[in-house]
Chain A
Amino acid sequence: MRPYRPKDNVQKKAYYNDRFYVTPQIPKDDPASDEVYSKDIEKLQSKFSISESYIQRGELVIYIDPDSNVEVLEFLKDELDYSFLMEMSAVDFLAQREGFEIFYELLSLSKRKRIRVKTFIKENQAIESVQHLFRSANFAEREMFDMFGIQVNNHPYLKRILMPDDWEGYPLRKTYPLQGDEFAQWYEVDKIFGKEARDIVGPEIRDSAHIDRYDTERFARLGHEVPRGTDISKDEPDTDNHEFQEEGGVFLIKDLNKPQKVLSEKERRER
C-alpha cells in the first residue's frame, strides 16, 4: 500500500507532478571564491558553529545555531562591519520541518557586501531579540510575532503591529486561510454590534460582483428608493432616468440641464 498523504494540505502539495522534475536552483558558490567573504567566513567559523555557508547571487548565506543569533550578529556588526540590518523575518516550514526559518539580511556599507544569516527554530521555540544591536529589528520582530506567532525574548514591546491587539491566529502561516478563519470573518461584526448581530448582518459576500436587485437592506436603488427592508420582489418600481436634476428644475436653483443651442459655423459668422 502507498502511504496516505492528506490532499487538503496545501502546503504539502507539490507544484509539479512530473516526477523527473528538478526544481531550478540558483547556483551556490564556495565562500572561498570571494575575497571578502572568504576572510569573513574564516573569522566566523573560528568563533561560532556554522552548519552551512555558500554564496548565492553574489551574497553570502550562513546557517547558524538559533541560540547564538545575538552573538553572531554582534560579531558581524562590531568586528566585520555589517552595520545595517536591512530586513529580517521568518519563513513558515511548519509542514515540512515543524518550525520556522528566521533570516537576517545585513549590509556592510564599507565593504559593499551583503550577508544573509539564517537560523531554524522549532514551532514553540523562542528567539532572542537583536533590537539592542539594530533598532530596525524592533518593528521587524514585532511583525514576526504578529504574523507567525514567534516569541521574541527580551523585546521591549512585543505587541502586534499590524493586526488588532485582540486578533486570533497568525496570518502569514501557511495554514491560515487567505479569506480568514471564522474569527476573522466575523471580527468587525462581533466587535461593533456583538455576536447576536451575526444573523442580521449575514456572512461576508466574497463575490465582489454580487448584486441582488431585490435586496433593499443592502442596495439602495437610486431613483426609486423604498423604505429599508421592503419586499420588492413582486412589484419592482419602474426604472427612473438618471439625470443630474429633477425635471422642471429645483426650487431656487438654476436648471443646469437646460438644452442649449449649438451654433453652426454660418450662424456664428452672422453674429
Chain B
Amino acid sequence: MAQHQVNYGQDAGLPVALTTIDKIVNWGRSNSLWVLTYGLACCGIEMMASGASRYDFDRFGTIFRASPRQAEVMVIAGTLTKKHAEFIRRLYDQMAEPKWVISMGSCANTGGMFNTYATVQGADRVVPVDIYLPGCAPRPETLQYAVMMLQKKIRREPANRNRNLKQKRFV
C-alpha cells in the first residue's frame, strides 16, 4: 500500500554511498589538515592572518596546532636560519605520519634575499617539501590556495602509500 514510491535511482535517493577506501581516507585526511604553527618571520604574520576570522582557515578543516604530535602539515613560514635548522628537523620528525610540508615564502623556498652564510638556502635541504609557495610575503589567499592544492594532491595519492620513502633518503 505504498502511497509514495521512493525513486532510489534518483539523486541522493539511496541512503547508501559507494566509494573506495582510498577515497574516503583521503577525503578525511584532506579536509582535516591540522597545521603546525611555524611562524619564523614576517610570513608568520600572513599565516596568522589566514587563521584569523577574515580569511578563516577553519573552513578548510585547517586548524593550527601548537604541538607537532597533533599536526600533519608543517607550514614553514619565514626565514630558516642555520641555527634553527636542527630544530625544524626535530619537529618534523616528531610529527605523526602521514605528514606534509608547505614551504611558505621566498626565504623558506630558496633563502630568498638572504643570500648569506647564516640562512638555509631552501628548507628542502632539511625537510622534504610538498608545496613551494612563492611570494614575499604571500598573501593569505595564496596560503589558502596552497592548502587547496595540497588537498588536491592528497586526494590523488593512494591512502596507504609509504610516506617513509621520503625520509629514507637521509636515513
Interface residues of A (CB under 8 A from B): 163-164, 171, 176-181, 184-185, 187-189, 191-193, 197, 200-201, 204-206, 208, 210, 217-220, 222, 225, 227-228, 242, 244-246, 250-253
Q: A188-B86, A205-B122, A208-B110 are in contact. List 15 more A-B contacts (CB 8 A).
A: A176-B117, A180-B116, A180-B118, A181-B117, A188-B82, A200-B169, A200-B170, A208-B106, A228-B128, A228-B165, A228-B166, A242-B149, A244-B152, A245-B148, A245-B152
**With A184-B82, A252-B27 in contact, do A189 and B117 touch (Cβ < 8 Å)?**
no
Answer whether residue B78 sits at the interface, using C-beta atoms and an 8 A cutoff. Answer: no
B170, A205: Cβ atoms under 8 Å?
Answer: no
Interface residues on B, range: 35 or more
B118, A163: Cβ atoms under 8 Å?
Answer: yes
Give min CB distance, A253 to chain B, whole Å. Answer: 7
Answer whether residue B120 sits at the interface, using C-beta atoms and an 8 A cutoff. Answer: yes
Across-interface contacts of A218 in B (CB, < 8 A)? 122, 124
Number of A-B contacts (CB under 8 A): 100
**Across the A-B interface, the 10 shortest Cβ-Cβ residue pairs:** A180-B117, A188-B85, A208-B110, A204-B121, A184-B117, A164-B83, A193-B170, A187-B82, A192-B89, A244-B148
Across-interface contacts of A181 in B (CB, < 8 A)? 117
Answer whether residue B139 sits at the interface, using C-beta atoms and an 8 A cutoff. Answer: no
The majority secondary structure among interface residues of chain A is: loop
Cβ < 8 Å to A, chain B residues 84-116: 85-86, 89, 106, 109-113, 115-116
- Roughly how many angstroms separate A62 CA and B86 CA in the complex, as a whole number? 45
- Roughly how many angstroms separate A185 CA and B129 CA in the complex, as a whole number? 20
A222, B131: Cβ atoms under 8 Å?
Answer: yes
**With A164-B82, A250-B155, A251-B24 in contact, do A206 and B122 touch (Cβ < 8 Å)?**
no
B156, A225: Cβ atoms under 8 Å?
Answer: yes
- Roughly how many angstroms separate A242 CA and B157 CA in the complex, as a whole number? 17
- Roughly how many angstroms separate A251 CA and B151 CA in the complex, as a whole number? 13
**With A200-B170, A225-B156 in contact, do A188 and B120 touch (Cβ < 8 Å)?**
yes
Nearest to A204 among chain B residues (CB) is B121
